[in-house]
Chain A
Amino acid sequence: MEPVHAAEAESYQVRLEVFEGPMDLLLFLIRKKKIDIADIPISAITREYLAYLERKEQINLDREAEFLLMAALLISIKSQLLLPREQPPADEEDPRRPLVDRLLEYERMKSASLLLREREEEQLQSWRRTSLPPLDVADEPGLIEVSLFELAESFFLLLKRRENENFQYLKGKEVSLDEKMREIVRELEERHYLDFLEFLARQESLEEALISFFCLLELIKTGAVIAVQERLFHTIKVWLRRSRPLPESHGQSA
């Protein structure tokens, strides 16, 4: 659809149907008057064409410039025909020729598009399994799996958010990767999913947040969890994958 039509789709019914473009209108006039397309009476056609243009009723006004361009072309052809010549012009020199060729090709395309329409109509009523709407998996509407980069980006975003907070550097408790991993898994098992950003934001220190981030990366790597976004720019959620075993303890400490 042309932009205007899309916007006016609703008001379409109250309006008169319009000629989409100059070729449309010109062809209609020629066919309606049963004129031999090879021998178009340019002056009569131009008059009719201009009458439509003046009333501005049935032409797509957003295409007015294009309708006018065609009017100019018609008038220029008419003037060329009026020029006195010593000999009648040969067929190839007929100033109407290029326009006639264009009209014939346009008419061919228009008919072809009507035939395609018929096929479209038929196809649209034929359903394939691909055409089915996706099955609704509870609470997982159109999930997008996120990449490492998106995770890292979120993480840095979080760090930036916390930048202005008044951090107090205390020698805090030592957190091991192992412990953190267990904590995450425990939470995942209880709630089935974690809000990635929210979970990291909950961590008390930068170190802890970093460790949590590594843990999540590790879990994603082993395939025990999956990181998904419900929609673009939405929060990233981490889901437990039931089919995969959880990774073995690492025994490393941070």
Chain B
Amino acid sequence: MDNPLKVILEALVFISIEPLSLDRIREVLNDRSEEEIRRALEELEAEYNREGRGLRLQQVGGGFVLATRPDHDPWVRRLLQIERKTKLSHAAVETLSVIAYHQPATQPEIQAIRGVDSSYTIKTLLEKKLVKISGRKKAPGSPLLYRTTDRFLTYFGLNDLSELPSVEEVAKMLEEGDVPEEKRAGQKAAQQEKTQEETRTDTQEMELEKIPDET
């Protein structure tokens, strides 16, 4: 390690429990210029994100974190003797998407898009601190407004909301139609963890064959 600042930053990121923000780093290293710090961070990031490291330096939720690589998940879990982390439900991720892309959003707005009652899902998302109440809308009944939290960003490995899949990415996915979903199902099967969402495509197709075409 040639750059001493880089080494200091490595220590700071390592010891931080929450994502370490640039502001916080500047508070600690108040004799260094922002430019210097940024450059050192970039160097550090490049170094970590090269192949062959057990850790990676990620920017999530507005700060830097050191995390293990996904490939090493099986060994980490064996060491800690814990099960695979549970995923959010289908309804939860869908509701989160709606809130993330429409925030601040009210419950009626969320329901209008999803077409189903979302009160319970919103409640669980609030409990998980993935969304928060950000105020009330100046509308009849003053409904509560919901926003996503920093925890939401960290959970999905996003640095800020601008890193949400863009309209273009989503559109690209739509163009590819059902393909990615099926492809994903195949990958998951390989990992022996077909979840309800993925298996559904197959079942639906089967079912459709059975319906006589009345037109």
Q: Are A17 and B203 in contact (CB under 8 A)?
A: yes
Q: Decide: A115 near B170, CB < 8 A? Known: A120-B88, A124-B84.
A: yes
Does B214 belong to the interface (CB within 8 Å)?
A: yes
Q: Are B70 and A63 in contact (CB under 8 A)?
A: no
Does B139 belong to the interface (CB within 8 Å)?
A: no
| Nearest 6 CB-CB pairings of A with B | A1-B89, A125-B73, A125-B70, A23-B115, A21-B116, A17-B200
Residue of B nearest to A66 (CB): B116
Does A156 belong to the interface (CB within 8 Å)?
A: no
| Interface mask (A212-254 → B, CB under 8 Å = 1, otherwise 0) | 0000000000000000000000000000000000000000000
With an 8 Å Cβ cutoff, the count of chain A residues facing the other chain is 53
* In the complex, chain B residues whose CB is within 8 Å of the CB of A108: 101, 167, 170, 174
Q: Decide: A105 near B113, CB < 8 A? Known: A2-B89, A119-B156.
A: yes
What CA separation (Å) do A133 and B79 show in the bound complex? Answer: 12
B182 CB to closest chain A CB, in angstroms?
Answer: 12
Q: Decide: A1 near B170, CB < 8 A? Known: A17-B196, A23-B115.
A: no
**CB-defined A-B contacts under 8 Å, sample of 19:** A1-B92, A2-B91, A20-B94, A28-B204, A44-B215, A47-B214, A63-B117, A66-B117, A70-B115, A109-B101, A109-B114, A113-B90, A115-B165, A115-B170, A116-B97, A117-B93, A126-B58, A127-B67, A130-B17
| Interface mask (A21-57 → B, CB under 8 Å = 1, otherwise 0) | 1111000100110000000000010011001000001
* In the complex, chain B residues whose CB is within 8 Å of the CB of A186: none
B123 CB to closest chain A CB, in angstroms?
Answer: 10
* In the complex, chain B residues whose CB is within 8 Å of the CB of A31: 177-178
What CA separation (Å) do A92 and B192 show in the bound complex? Answer: 49
Q: Which of A104-145 contact B (CB under 8 A)?
A: 105-130, 132-133
Besides A2-B91, A130-B17, 11 new A-B residue pairs in contact (Cβ under 8 A), listed by A number:
A1-B92, A2-B121, A3-B120, A20-B116, A21-B115, A22-B116, A70-B115, A111-B170, A113-B93, A117-B93, A121-B87
Residue of A nearest to B124 (CB): A1
A111 CB to closest chain B CB, in angstroms?
Answer: 5
* In the complex, chain A residues whose CB is within 8 Å of the CB of B208: 32
Q: Decide: A66 near B115, CB < 8 A? Known: A16-B207, A58-B207, A123-B155.
A: yes
Residue of B nearest to A63 (CB): B116
* In the complex, chain A residues whose CB is within 8 Å of the CB of B91: 1-2, 5, 20
Q: Decide: A22 near B115, CB < 8 A? Known: A109-B97, A112-B165.
A: yes
Residue of B nearest to A124 (CB): B85
A138 CB to closest chain B CB, in angstroms?
Answer: 19
* In the complex, chain A residues whose CB is within 8 Å of the CB of B121: 1-2
A60 CB to closest chain B CB, in angstroms?
Answer: 8
Binding site for A on B (CB under 8 A): 14, 17-18, 56, 58, 65-71, 73, 76, 80, 82, 84-85, 87-94, 96-98, 100-101, 112-117, 120-121, 124, 155-158, 164-165, 167, 169-170, 173-174, 177-178, 180-181, 184, 196-197, 199-200, 203-204, 207-208, 211, 214-215
* In the complex, chain A residues whose CB is within 8 Å of the CB of B94: 20, 109-110, 113
* In the complex, chain B residues whose CB is within 8 Å of the CB of A114: 173, 180-181, 184
* In the complex, chain A residues whose CB is within 8 Å of the CB of B14: 129
Residue of B nearest to A57 (CB): B207
A104 CB to closest chain B CB, in angstroms?
Answer: 9
A157 CB to closest chain B CB, in angstroms?
Answer: 30
* In the complex, chain B residues whose CB is within 8 Å of the CB of A119: 156-158
What CA separation (Å) do A97 and B67 show in the bound complex? Answer: 47
Does A12 belong to the interface (CB within 8 Å)?
A: yes
Residue of A nearest to B77 (CB): A127
Q: Are A102 and B115 in contact (CB under 8 A)?
A: yes
* In the complex, chain A residues whose CB is within 8 Å of the CB of B69: 126
Residue of B nearest to A60 (CB): B116
Q: Are A123 and B200 in contact (CB under 8 A)?
A: no
* In the complex, chain B residues whose CB is within 8 Å of the CB of A118: 184
What CA separation (Å) do A129 and B55 show in the bound complex? Answer: 11
* In the complex, chain B residues whose CB is within 8 Å of the CB of A48: 211, 214
Among B58, B112, B116, B178, chain A packs the most CB atoms within 10 A around the CB of B116
* In the complex, chain B residues whose CB is within 8 Å of the CB of A109: 94, 97-98, 101, 113-114
Q: Are A126 and B204 in contact (CB under 8 A)?
A: no
* In the complex, chain A residues whose CB is within 8 Å of the CB of B84: 124
Q: Are A127 and B73 in contact (CB under 8 A)?
A: yes
